[in-house]
């Protein structure tokens, strides 16, 4: 075999049998769905994630921190790195997500899916929301209604004490 044919054959093998690119791996939003959560729990703009499927430990990364309002009364803030543990219908030990309740910023530490509702816990209090509020991912700055700059309506049950 001539050296040129060997080089071409080698290049063909490299191109044809190359490993899957990162583009072929599921997105962070698809991973959420794999665990029975809607993709809208994460804001638009997740640039990468890591997941240890054996433990459920995950991190999702945004380019920058992110904040927006929903229904005017709920302000949410995401740090550039969101972390925790994920399993079917349950997110625990969450870090990097907080909600403003009255005048206080409280960390959302757990999310449980219970049928068609999601229960968000800040430790001493929790609130339930219909799951269909989270089928669309909010956008940093304007939440779910970025076209005309108005705040979207979120159906909710108020935060109640778990004590």
Q: What is the pLDDT of residue 146?
A: 76
DSSP alpha helix (H) spans, 3-133: 3-16, 28-34
Q: How confident is the model at residue 143 (pLDDT cuts 50, 70, 90)?
A: confident
Per domain, the residue ranges of the chain are 20-161
Q: What is the pLDDT of residue 148?
A: 53
pLDDT digits (tens, 9 = 90+) for 107-119: 999 999 999 999 9
Nearest Cα to 154, choosing from 73, 93, 95?
A: 73
Rounded Cα distance, 161 and 163, in Å:
5
Determine phi and psi for 107, rounding to 5 degrees: -75, 130
When pLDDT is averaged across residues 74-89 and rounded to a whole number, the result is 95
Q: What is the pLDDT of residue 24?
A: 78
Lowest mean pLDDT, pick from 7-11, 69-73, 147-151: 7-11
- Counting every residue, how long is the chain? 163
Rounded Cα distance, 70 and 87, in Å:
26
Q: Where is pLDDT greater, at 114 or 149?
A: 114
Determine phi and psi for 103, rounding to 5 degrees: -110, 5
The string of DSSP codes covering 2-25 is: -HHHHHHHHHHHHHHTPPPPGGGS
Locus of tokens 């929301």 = 129
Rounded Cα distance, 64 and 53, in Å:
26
Q: What is the pLDDT of residue 83?
A: 97
**Backbone torsion region of residue 77, taken as left when φ is above 0, otherwise alpha when ψ lies between -120 and 50, otherwise beta:** beta
Lowest mean pLDDT, pick from 67-71, 79-83, 103-107: 67-71
Whether CATH 2.30.240 fits 20-161: yes
Q: What is the pLDDT of residue 145?
A: 72
Q: What is the pLDDT of residue 161?
A: 41
Q: Is the pLDDT of residue 131 over 60?
A: yes
Rounded Cα distance, 120 and 110, in Å:
6
Q: Is the pLDDT of residue 132 over 80?
A: yes
Q: Which DSSP letter does residue 33 get?
A: H
Two tokens at 56? 């459920």
Confidence (pTM): 0.75
């Amino acid at each position: 075999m001539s050296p040129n044919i060997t080089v071409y054959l080698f290049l063909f093998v490299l191109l044809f049998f190359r490993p899957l690119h990162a583009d072929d791996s599921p997105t962070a939003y698809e991973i959420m769905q794999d665990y029975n959560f809607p993709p809208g729990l994460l804001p638009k703009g997740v640039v990468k994630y890591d997941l240890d499927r054996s433990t459920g430990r995950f991190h999702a990364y945004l380019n920058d921190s992110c904040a927006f309002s929903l229904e005017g009364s709920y302000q949410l803030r995401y740090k550039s790195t969101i972390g925790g543990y994920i399993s079917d219908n349950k997110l625990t030990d969450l870090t990097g997500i907080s909600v403003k309740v009255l005048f206080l910023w409280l960390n959302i530490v757990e999310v449980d899916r219970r049928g068609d509702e999601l229960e968000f816990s800040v430790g001493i209090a929790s609130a339930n929301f219909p799951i269909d509020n989270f089928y669309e991912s909010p956008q940093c700055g304007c939440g779910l209604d970025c076209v005309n700059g108005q705040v979207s309506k979120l159906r909710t049950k108020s935060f109640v004490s778990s004590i």
